[in-house]
Structure formats: structure tokens, C-alpha cells
A and B are shown apart, each in its own frame.
Chain A
Amino acid sequence: MYQLTNSPTIIRLADHACIPPDPANRDYRDYLEWVEAGNTPEPAPEPPAPLDPVELTPVEKLAASSLTIEELKQLLGLN
């Protein structure tokens, strides 16, 4: 039994081995033979739902910029 993933890698469920889609790989050839024999791999798990972009507070934005309030004031000509 095999399972698809959200990448080209195939998971062999017996040992959770990650099989690359390389025809020179013996395990991948076994997988292809298994499919040719009429078997169907399990689908890939649903990828995690994208998160909404994080809304930062003004304080967090300031922290992310590494600016101090004084430096920001100076930058904006507010001193």
C-alpha cells in the first residue's frame, strides 16, 4: 500500500518510507508495478489551510522594524 503526498514523493505505508519518483530507484519501480497491477494509492492528506495574514499591532510593527519611537520621530521629522 502506498500513499501520495503533496510533493512527488510516494509514501510506502508499510514502513512510511519516502520514495522519490526516480525510475532508477528500485522501490519506485515496485510502486509503478503495483499501480500497473490495478492498485490505487491513497490520496495525499489535505494540506493545512492557509492562515490569514497576521495582523500586527502597531507596537509589533515597530518591534519588527527595530526602530525606537525616538528614531521614528526623527525619521518623520517630528522632533
Chain B
Amino acid sequence: MAYLGIDPKAAYSSYRNIDDISASFDGLVTTFPLRVDGVAPTILPINEQQLLINVGGVPQQPDPSGVNGFKLLAGNIVFSSAPSAGETFWGVILATANYISANTRFANGSAGLPSVTFASDVTTGIYSPGAGQLAISTGGTGELFVNTSGIQVPGDVQANSYNGGPLAGLRNAIINGNFDIWQRGTSFTGSVYGADRWLHNRVGTTHTATRQPFTLGQTAVPNEPTYFCRTVVSTVAGAGNFANLVQRIEDVRTFAGQQVTVSFWAKVDATKNIAVELVQEFGTGGSPSAEVNAIGTTKVSIGTTFQKVTITTTVPSISGKTLGTNNDHSLTLVIWFDAGSTFNSRTDTLGQQSGTFEIAQVQVERGPIATPFERRPIGQELALCQRYYEVVNYWPMGITFAANGDTRGYVSFAVQKRAAPTISGFPHSISVIAFTCFGEGVNLNGTIESASSSVNGFRPNNMGNSANISASAGGGNVMAWGDSGFRTVFASAEL
């Protein structure tokens, strides 16, 4: 028979020819099994409209009621009246009709027989394991599940990035965002580094910053943080006065030209605003570019219970900028509590105010989403802090040459510092046990006056009374000496 246009059976490879059933036509039988290549299609058409059936050259009406034409029933073609013997038959299952059909409902399917599959692989596709659940299977095995709890992937996940940033850990650029590390103490006034990496900054206005514990089992801030930072601010009027909480993230390249999200939990003694901004500081030395401030400046109203603050912004590109030569540039997070009018443009006109401001779980991460706070192992967090500040407990010992007092000793830091650190804690007295070159042991007192530091450690500069030690020891030229106990010094290489 000639066709107008192309042969519908061959127009698209996904058409399926239904086996010819005309040999069974006898004018009595109305029900015929639907077969393709001798077997029932793996997934049957779900309604009559997905079939074209022609008997004796007459198209048959698809009619689910079975009154006219034909209907589908349990995998059979059921005609409303029995085709007569000798009548011709052809039929097709429409292209992809048994897989994709608008405004219809698919069977739930299973991992082994997904409801939505593909021509070359009927065990790979989409199915629904249950109400409110969607799944994708490959080769008959469920590999990805979506339900009201989220997305579950039993196998490995491979991706270029999450939110454009690191795949899993170390996504928080803030160090000690959980306020777990307080090497310097737990209460501070003045404009000083207090909680590790955090600068409790002020001019004019006064404040006291302290470490405060969370109650065990509290649910106001999730995941059981141990501490938060409380800053009690007493404002002093003045255009240039302010109080804020600052962290300088080493390297202004951080997140440059990228979208970032700042998040933290905050609460105040009575509803007040706070302001948040990022600043690109290009360092000192040489001719560095001027800082870029007011990045993402946002003023947020905070209530008397902990609430999560989330701010997404884009950090400007640093193309065309010049870094200082002192390697002290940074991306800086500033949380403003009190700001004189000088800072209106950086704080969305926050203004001046007193109050008690409490901050917890600060995170700055790449991308548009505030992910749950990244809680790193405490040892790792401490090590990150120690790049900038370290309490060094050491046992003074060394060698002194009596003729000129030259003293040699060395103490390594636990963590290499960002820069040669300032060492405080000197001078400190030591109770020396010295051994002369004659093997004599003598008990003496001495003083280490100062130290010279590098990024890796420090050495005592001199023994204040090394010459006296030598004389008292009976004339030894070289003395090996050691203290009777540990001493403590503090190494600071903050930005």
C-alpha cells in the first residue's frame, strides 16, 4: 500500500511495530495479545492513545470504554467487535509513547524496571520508590534518591565543586569562627586581639569582650557550639568612634572576583541593628592600592534570641590592583556594633549605640548558600590559629661562651608563623644548672633578657649574667646550662 509522506513505521526508530495478528481474525475473537517481536513489550503502553491500530485498512478509534474501536486491557488489544477472517492488520506503538507522555501518570516502577527508560537500556531510568520519593537507577540499581529529607547517594559523588568552592571541608575562610580558641585569655578591653584571630576593635567607644559558654543541650544555635563571643559596648559619641569585631583573612586574593556568603548567629540585649562588611586590604610597604571597603555592606536587625544572619555578596576582582611589599594583605570581615558618622558609608548608617552583642559560628564561604557551620577538629583549628599566635612553653637551655657572653639556644614553634613574630614574656629569670667545660655542675640564677625570632622559632639573645656564671663556676670557658623548669613566652604574628 502506498503512503502519503514517509512510512510512519520507519519515521522514527522508536516506533515499534506490533506483531501482525490478522491470522487470528475469525469474526469471533475480540481479544488479542499485544506483542512486539513475539513478546510483550517490556513496558506496555499505558493507554490506547499511544497506539495506532488499523484493521482492514480502517483506522480504529482508541476508546478506553471499549464501546468503539479498541481498548487496551491487561496487555491485550480488545476490539469492540471481532475482526473478520481475512481482514488485514497493522499497528504501531507510537515513538517513545510507552516511556514519555504528557499529562499521564507513570507506574512507580522499580530500580530494576524504572518507569522512564531509554531505547537501549530499560534498566536505567527514573522510578519512584514510594510516596514523595524519586529515584534514578542505572543498570537496575538505585543510585540517587530524592525525598523530603534531601538527596541521598549511596555511591561515590564526583563533582568539580560545591557552590564553586572546595568540595567538602575547609570551606570556611574564617579561623576560630566557633570561638573555641582563646590562647590570650577570656576577657579583653581595649583594641586588642582576644579570641584567637579576632580583633576586638574600638576607637573612642569602650567595650569588653568575653568568652561565654553555651548551655549543654541548648538548641538556639545548632550543633552544640561550646562558646560564643559577647561584646558589651558603651558608646562614646564621636564621628570617628566605633566598636566592631574584625577578622583579617590572610591574602587579599581570597575570594577575589567571586560570590561569597557570610553567615553567623547573633543576639543582642534588646533589638538593635548591626552591620557587616568585607574589606579588601592590599597591605603595606611600597605603593599598595587603597583598600576597597563597604563590600556587601548590610545592616541587619537582631533580636534578643539567637538568629542566623546570612549575607551573600560578590568580592571585587583584584585585577589592576597593587599589593604592598610587606606581605600583609587581607580580606577582612568586619561586624560593626557601634559606628560614628564617619563610617556611614561602610555601615549603611548604623549609627552609635550601646548594648550587649553576642556572636557565634562565623563563616565566610564561597558561593550563594550559607552551608551549616563547618566545625573543624579542635587540634586543626588550634594549629590554624598558631600560625598567627602561639603560647610557647619551653625549657630554657643552651651554651654560653664565657669570654663574650655569646649564648646559643633555640626553641621551635609548634606551627610556622605567618611572619617573624613578636615574642613577649621576657625578661624572665631562670634557675640555671650549668656545667663547665671541666664537668663541674653549678646551680646559678640568671635572666634571659630577650629573644630573636624567625617564622620557625626563636633563640635567647643573651644570658644577662652569663659572665658571672662563668666566673662563679670556677673559670670554665664554655658552659652548657639548663633551667630547672618550663617558661612561657608568647609569639604573635597577627595581621
Contacts and interface: CB of A to CB of B under 8 A. Distances in A.
B420 A25 contact: yes
B259 interface: no
A54 B328 contact: no
Nearest to B324: A23
A67 to B, nearest CB: 14
B232 to A, nearest CB: 25
B285 A48 contact: no
B328 A9 contact: no
A25 B454 CA distance: 11
Nearest to A47: B405
Contacts of A54: 402, 475-477
Interface in A16-72: 16-29, 47-51, 53-54, 56, 60, 63-64
Contacts of A49: 467
Contacts of B427: 16
A56 B451 contact: no
B419 A17 contact: no
A18 B493 contact: no
Contacts of B418: 24
Interface string B411-424: 00000001111111
B395 interface: no
Given A26-B494, A50-B403, A11 B420 contact: no
A27 B422 CA distance: 7
Contacts, number: 97
Contacts of A28: 422
Contacts of B285: 23
B332 to A, nearest CB: 14
Contacts of B493: 24-25
B438 A64 contact: yes
B29 interface: no
A36 to B, nearest CB: 13
Contacts of A5: 449-450, 461
B452 interface: yes
B220 to A, nearest CB: 36
Interface residues of B, number: 41
Contacts of A79: none
A9 B451 contact: yes
B472 interface: no
Contacts of B494: 26
B453 interface: yes
B284 to A, nearest CB: 6
B404 interface: yes
**Chain A binding surface SS class:** loop
A18 B422 contact: yes
Given A50-B404, A51-B471, A24 B452 contact: no
Given A50-B403, A51-B402, A54-B475, A20 B438 contact: no
B427 to A, nearest CB: 6
Nearest to A53: B403
A27 B417 CA distance: 14
Contact of B424 (A6, A17, A53): A17
B85 interface: no
A9 to B, nearest CB: 5
B476 A20 contact: no
Contacts of A23: 284-285, 325-326
Contact of A25 (B422, B437, B476, B477): B422
B201 interface: no
A15 B428 CA distance: 12
A36 B438 CA distance: 51
Nearest to A30: B422
B423 A7 contact: no
B495 interface: yes
Contact of A24 (B328, B404, B470): B328
Contact of A20 (B453, B477, B495): B453
Nearest to A33: B284
B462 interface: yes
Contacts of B405: 47-48
Given A18-B451, A51-B403, A6 B422 contact: no
Contacts of B452: 7-9, 18, 20
A57 B150 CA distance: 88
B198 to A, nearest CB: 15
Interface of B: 284-285, 325-328, 402-405, 418-424, 426-427, 437-438, 449-454, 458, 461-462, 466-467, 470-471, 475-477, 492-495
Given A8-B452, A51-B470, 4 more contacts: A5-B461, A24-B326, A53-B477, A60-B438
7 contacts: A7-B452, A15-B424, A18-B461, A21-B420, A25-B422, A29-B326, A47-B404
